[in-house]
Structure 1
Amino acid sequence: MTKPRFPYPPAPQSDVVDNYHGRAIPDPYRWLEDPDSPETQAWTAAQNTLTRHFIDELPARAVFAERLATLWNYPRYTAPITRHSRTFFQKNDGLQNQPALYWQEGDAPPQVLLDPNTLSDDGTVALIGQSVTADGRYLAYTLSQSGSDWQTIHVRNVDAGADTGDVIQWCKFANAAWLPDDSGFYYARYPTPDEMPDAPPSTHHRVYFHKMGTAQAADELVYARPDAPDLGFNPEVTDDGRYLILHVWDGTDPRNRLYYRDLQTGGDFVRLIDEMEAKYIFIANDGPLFYLETDDDAPHGRVVAINVENPARVNWQEIIPESDETIEYSRLVNEHFVLDRLRHASHHLYLFQKDGTAVGEIPLPTPGSIVELTSRRADTRFYYHFQSFLYPPTIFCYDFETGQATAVHQPTLHFDPTLYETTQVFYESKDGTAVPLFLTHKKGLKLDGANPTLLYGYGGFNINLPPLFVPTRLAWLERGGVFAQANLRGGAEYGEEWHQAGMLHNKQNVFDDFIAAAEWLIDQGYTSPQKLAIEGRSNGGLLVAACMVQRPDLFGAVHCGVPVIDMLRYHLFTAGRYWTSEYGNAIENPAHFEFLIAYSPLHNVKPGVAYPPLIITTADTDDRVVPMHAKKFAAALQAADPGINPLLLRVEMKAGHGLGKPTAKLIEEAADVYAFLWTMLLGNG
């Protein structure tokens, strides 16, 4: 064997062996699952030292860092939230680590209501969510530290510009559902370790009511399901204040239940939808008539009305029938339904009268994405945030009185998008399925097989991968690179059937789709294996890891970000238990074990194979996809390495899965990753 060129830190192999349904599966790097052990910490520090030394010697690193700082330096706004005469929005001036929250009264100049940048020296405290009372007097806001999914709710008096002292802890992905009179709000949280010391973390979600001015310990327990500890709840109060709605979910399964309680008459919750057979999203209500978005009997989605006083299915009214486009958002504004639908992975915006009569489509500037849509039912206008690969984040306002949409905030860039173009093609996957692929590059690109190309994908969890504006990718394009984004099975692009075609026993379809995209790019002359890099994060990290292991000959460089790697044990850690409906459970189900072991990247690394140059990125406080995945994968690959290509691990400190990541950390990581990928494809040129 060739002596390795890279002095990887030693990773001792233990003799741990697990029995899965009669098969012995070694797990030699089990010790890396403990992030707090001295051995793991020393090994991680040594990996970071090696990676830092390698990256810092790349001439491209300083070039990318400088250019990325310039490309990121433009003002970014969120779509405004209006409450009577008050408007609330977030703004990042450019290179601020976190956006600040502003408010304004009427036409008065905006003023800062909350600036998370003042809450930490390094920008690692992030504003994750906000909920404003109907009269605009109070703001409930959630903060996260170091990228953690754990959040704390605080309340601020808008007029005073100061917190009230109301604090809610032990929340994840929380929202505050205010009562119309501002007296308090409903929320959901997990038990404290002292309340249920024997319960697994992030189970036994419960709904509470918090009365303003009281301690959290005095909050009223509103709903709990001790018989079903994995269920979660999102509370919502209807605009008329009459009903408390509970969206009941189980992990990442898009299907849910829907319960409600009449706040006027009291009583128990009514289980309006009590079977997890489809998705049901509450839109609005006219008294007891509930309008819901659902994919029940409609994989692409439809809008129905259910009278909760006569809820039998035979009495449901179909308001907007299913089309061949998939519903992404639905709102009721100014007595019109506003529907955001996906057509071949791009967003399209439609208006319907309340009886379902089509009004028309609101033109969008280019194929792209609606990232936010904000409104209240009584408003005569709504705001939406639109962007695309070459179209910067822009806030539009649609006015029902004029029937026109106008740009409210559109940034000026340090980049000329007119020199580039985006096209969409459809290629054939292994089984003949047509898969969409976006291509962005300089105009007049030569198809000579020599273009450095970055292929990106995700393919899972019913998540659409639309055209998004990402400043880091502009630096790749400027240097003559091609950016390709494949809309793989497993996502939401074509409804629930498309999702199911890429989950559980069908997961290999996702990898086949991605490999077919790479082969298409090569066959069409866009690039060659030596000039093709692939990138994915989270479930997309699993994607690129699996494809790299299955086809190491096909790629010139790989970025594997915050990945899920150990598919036999992923569900034993933090949020992993919620993904079994998507991936399966190798311990409990023999059939699941068979398809998971077949593609699990950790278990398919082969000694002596020259895997392509690889940088794995993770974070020390990622409590969604724990860093043990990245660490065990790096250890296995480095042990199998014949000494040809670098196989590096980069572990970010005081960072999580990516939620609320400071701008400085985003730029630093992107500079490292893009310098690595570019250099591996083109050398130091």
Structure 2
Amino acid sequence: MHRSSLPTLPALLASLLVACGGDQSPAATAPTTPAAAPAPIADNARASRYPETPMRPVTTEYHGVRVVDPYQWLESPKDPEVDRWIEEQNRRTRTYFDALPARKAVRDRVATMLNAVSNAWYGVKYKGGRLFATKFQPPKQQPFLVTLKSPNDLASERILVDPNELDPKARTTIDWFVPSPDGKKVAVSLSQGGTENGTVHVYDADTGKETGDVVTYANSGTAGGGLSWASDGKGFFYTRHPHPGERPDSDLGFFQQVYFHKLGTPEAQDAYAIGKEFPRIAETRLSASDNGRFVLASVQNGDGGEFWQYLRDARGTWKRLADLPDKIVDSAFGPDGKLYLVSRKDAPRGKVIRIDPAKPDLGKAEVLVPESEVTIKDIVPTRSRLYVVDLAGGPSQVRVFDLKGKQTGDVPILPVSAVHQLESIAGDDVLFSNTSYVEPSAFYLYQARDNKVTKTALASTAPVSFADTEVVRETCTSKDGTKVPINILRKKGMKLDGRGPALLTAYGGYGISLQPGMRPVTRLFLDQGGTYAVANLRGGGEFGEAWHLAGNLTNKQNVFDDFYACSKYLVESGYTRPERLAIIGGSNGGLLMGAALTQHPEMYRAVVSYVGIYDMLRVELSPNGAFNVTEFGSVKDPAQFKALFAYSPLHNVKDGVKYPSVLFPTGAEDPRVEPWHSRKMAARLQAASTGGPVLLRADVGGHGADTPLDAQIEQLADVYSFIFHELGLDAAGE
């Protein structure tokens, strides 16, 4: 995707889930065994009063269609009346949870699990003979930056930057870090309070002390950010957002440009490099060749997956290397000085081409790896090899090629697993992270000469066992006949009699793929005899760009049809029935939840929808919504308006319908999805639904990246006790 609507973990780590579609009611095939009824709770009934929410209609006309919005007043971010309304909603929500008999047991088990989660490392980078990594170590509230001499020498590990020490309130987060080529310095973007508005600080990698170099407004929750060091480590190119006073406040999260900072000089002297010609919604990534002669700026046009490529040559001149129609979506400089590119031009699943950056000409590019049946996700060139990480419909594979394009083998990985990172460390050897639904994440060392894989000391251990669990990968048929994969976790020997509960998740957007990964809290659901399912919907990137485009803009309804098809599959195959089916998703997956519950309210008993998008007619008016136009479309376009209005969850709620029980967790400082989406959707459903409770859980955080460990525990305790109660489950234990 982009980065804007991408759910940022760890807050959503255990909860981003979804399903796939079809258009027939499951009533004729669903088992008729009565559902287990949730225990009565005084404040749970529809008859109990919600906080009073005045309707103040505002009418807007779009292409001759008059649309009335009675809750637009809830969009005001600093209005005392809105603040009081939020407080009342939170008070009612807490009353609901305080009355749940299983909430304490669920909370205790979640806390035991998350506090027992072992150390975890991610984002590993190898520079100057040392490793840099972000480390998560409960009970510390936030991840921190460490260095090591090798992946098997934990005794050499040293903390370099620890947000837990910088901020006792645990609201400071590492957005990203970039070591210098010699590994002697590292630039770290830090942000506060979930805003993702990052300031770069430079640290000495030997002492851990700051150099005094500080660069502000280098990252945002809308456009993201990045940095690329000069080869001598004496400065770096970085993404710069407008500073206050340079543009109107409404434009401060836009118009990202590239500047150069020379170490030891004040930020005010930083030199403009490129970007005045970039679009308002530019999102820029920076990379450099090993010798520092060339710098590449990959500029994404909002969140739709289209890129321009700009190359800086050895003389310091920037030129556009590729336009949007060239469809260059990824890149990597090789040790041989060549530039390796992933192109989707005439190859929706990707091909690898190579050019000489000293004589950049895409028309004369070598095709090293042609398009195949799998989707290219990442490339890593080494001294004499090219590693290609692929998606095979969701799970990963890693192919190995020589530098002439001949495939020499595959890297052995776990079955039905995901490779989330692959890092060159020496010669042709690489480190890669690998995880599956039942195996925790670990970094493995692949020794090229021996074709040997060994697990390193950078390995997590799980607080629970999935030894009794099997993973089956099935397909369901969507409304238009498209086959959609669904990954199902269940206990071995499970009877498919339709009696069990099921929890389904999905995402379906921005070309983002839901890949395998162990989530310890899934054990809570499996221990209740439940099924946990992950669907790989259109809109994602599991089968390449064609799969993505089949679920964006005016094709977005395909995503919701896919989800419904997966839901129906779980019912018709005997895993569950609608009375015992819960769904969960976040961000773009929250939009999916909103569409699912409004289009097929009869299919679900409970819905958890994190930081979701629900008003598709006004989303583009918010800062990050402008970046989303290339993915969702705009109301300014008649055809796109028609599609948006047809599925916009807020505008498709109908009075008097028995909607599922719904929980809306949201963050007050969310820079990616405005929290008013959840406020308006909660208010509309509370006024309309004759079904279960509609609960707003408005927190102080952001989109998820900043959520401290203790807050994660409380949030997950609420989520799972909500699901347990609504599905008639009364215990959290084995």
TM-score (structure 1 length as normaliser): 0.96
* Structure 1 partner of 2:709: 663
**Cα offset, 1:232, TM superposition:** 3.3
* Shift in alpha-carbon separation, 1:66–1:160, aligned structure 2, 3 A: same
Q: How does 1:109-258 map to 2 (within 5 A)?
A: 109-172=156-219, 173-197=224-248, 200-225=251-276, 228-258=279-309
**Cα offset, 1:253, TM superposition:** 1.9
* Structure 2 partner of 1:41: 83
* Structure 1 partner of 2:339: 290
Identity %, equivalent residues = 36
What is the CA deviation profile of residues 31-79 of structure 1, one whole-angstrom value per residue up to 9, with x for unaligned ones?
1111210111000111111111101211221122111122222221226
**Cα offset, 1:175, TM superposition:** 2.2
What is the CA deviation profile of residues 274-295 of structure 1, one whole-angstrom value per residue up to 9, with x for unaligned ones?
2345133221157774221111
Q: How does 1:271-310 map to 2 (within 5 A)?
A: 271-285=320-334, 289-308=338-357, 310=359
Tell me the SS of whatever aligns to 1:384.
strand
**Cα offset, 1:265, TM superposition:** 2.0
Choose the corresponding residue for 1:535, options 578, 584, 589: 584
Cα contact 2:332–2:340 (8 A) shared by 1: yes
Cα contact 2:476–2:569 (8 A) shared by 1: yes
* Shift in alpha-carbon separation, 1:473–1:161, aligned structure 2, 3 A: same
- Distance in 2 of aligned mates of 1:594 and 1:80: 45
The one-letter amino acid paired with 1:592 is: Q
What is the CA deviation profile of residues 304-354 of structure 1, one whole-angstrom value per residue up to 9, with x for unaligned ones?
012345544442210111110001111112321111101121000111101
Tell me the SS of whatever aligns to 1:39.
helix
Are 2:14 and 1:14 aligned?
no
* Shift in alpha-carbon separation, 1:429–1:163, aligned structure 2, 3 A: same
What is the CA deviation profile of residues 394-427 of structure 1, one whole-angstrom value per residue up to 9, with x for unaligned ones?
1111122332111113333331211111110011
Cα contact 2:432–2:444 (8 A) shared by 1: yes
Cα contact 1:557–1:680 (8 A) shared by 2: yes
Tell me the SS of whatever aligns to 2:574.
coil
TM-score (structure 2 length as normaliser): 0.90
- Distance in 1 of aligned mates of 2:578 and 2:182: 58
* Shift in alpha-carbon separation, 1:285–1:421, aligned structure 2, 3 A: closer
**Cα offset, 1:363, TM superposition:** 1.4
Q: Tell me whether 24-33 or 163-172 shows the greater mean CA deviation.
A: 163-172
Cα contact 2:186–2:202 (8 A) shared by 1: yes
Cα contact 1:491–1:499 (8 A) shared by 2: yes
* Structure 1 partner of 2:9: none
* Structure 2 partner of 1:443: 492
The one-letter amino acid paired with 1:147 is: G
Cα contact 2:654–2:688 (8 A) shared by 1: yes
The one-letter amino acid paired with 2:195 is: S
Cα contact 1:464–1:492 (8 A) shared by 2: yes
Choose the corresponding residue for 1:623, options 647, 665, 671: 671
* Structure 1 partner of 2:424: 375
**Cα offset, 1:5, TM superposition:** 2.2
Are 2:134 and 1:83 aligned?
no
- Distance in 2 of aligned mates of 1:11 and 1:244: 54
Tell me the SS of whatever aligns to 2:589.
helix
What is the CA deviation profile of residues 110-150 of structure 1, one whole-angstrom value per residue up to 9, with x for unaligned ones?
22111111122232211121111121110101112122221
Segments of structure 2 that go 5 or more residues without pairing to the other structure are 1-43
Tell me the SS of whatever aligns to 1:545.
helix
Cα contact 1:225–1:231 (8 A) shared by 2: no
Cα contact 1:272–1:308 (8 A) shared by 2: no
* Shift in alpha-carbon separation, 1:312–1:212, aligned structure 2, 3 A: closer
Number of residues of Structure 1 aligned to a counterpart in Structure 2 = 678
- Distance in 2 of aligned mates of 1:669 and 1:349: 36
Choose the corresponding residue for 1:99, options 125, 143, 165: 143
What is the CA deviation profile of residues 382-401 of structure 1, one whole-angstrom value per residue up to 9, with x for unaligned ones?
11111111111111111223
- Distance in 2 of aligned mates of 1:154 and 1:329: 28
Choose the corresponding residue for 1:563, options 612, 621, 633: 612
Are 2:77 and 1:29 aligned?
no
User: Higher relative contact order by CA 8 Å / sep ≥ 6: 1 or 2?
Assistant: 2
Question: Where does structure 1 differ by over 6 angstroms across 4 or more consecutive aligned residues?
Answer: none
**Cα offset, 1:481, TM superposition:** 1.5
* Structure 2 partner of 1:329: 378
Cα contact 2:464–2:520 (8 A) shared by 1: no
- Distance in 1 of aligned mates of 2:514 and 2:50: 35
**Cα offset, 1:461, TM superposition:** 0.6
Tell me the SS of whatever aligns to 2:200.
strand
* Shift in alpha-carbon separation, 1:79–1:566, aligned structure 2, 3 A: closer
Q: How does 1:224-623 map to 2 (within 5 A)?
A: 224-225=275-276, 228-262=279-313, 264-266=314-316, 268-285=317-334, 289-308=338-357, 310-375=359-424, 379-408=427-456, 409-586=458-635, 588-623=636-671
Tell me the SS of whatever aligns to 1:430.
coil
The one-letter amino acid paired with 1:674 is: Y
- Distance in 2 of aligned mates of 1:99 and 1:124: 11
**Cα offset, 1:235, TM superposition:** 2.2
What is the CA deviation profile of residues 64-99 of structure 1, one whole-angstrom value per residue up to 9, with x for unaligned ones?
211112222222122642223322223223332112
Cα contact 2:384–2:428 (8 A) shared by 1: no
- Distance in 1 of aligned mates of 2:278 and 2:216: 24
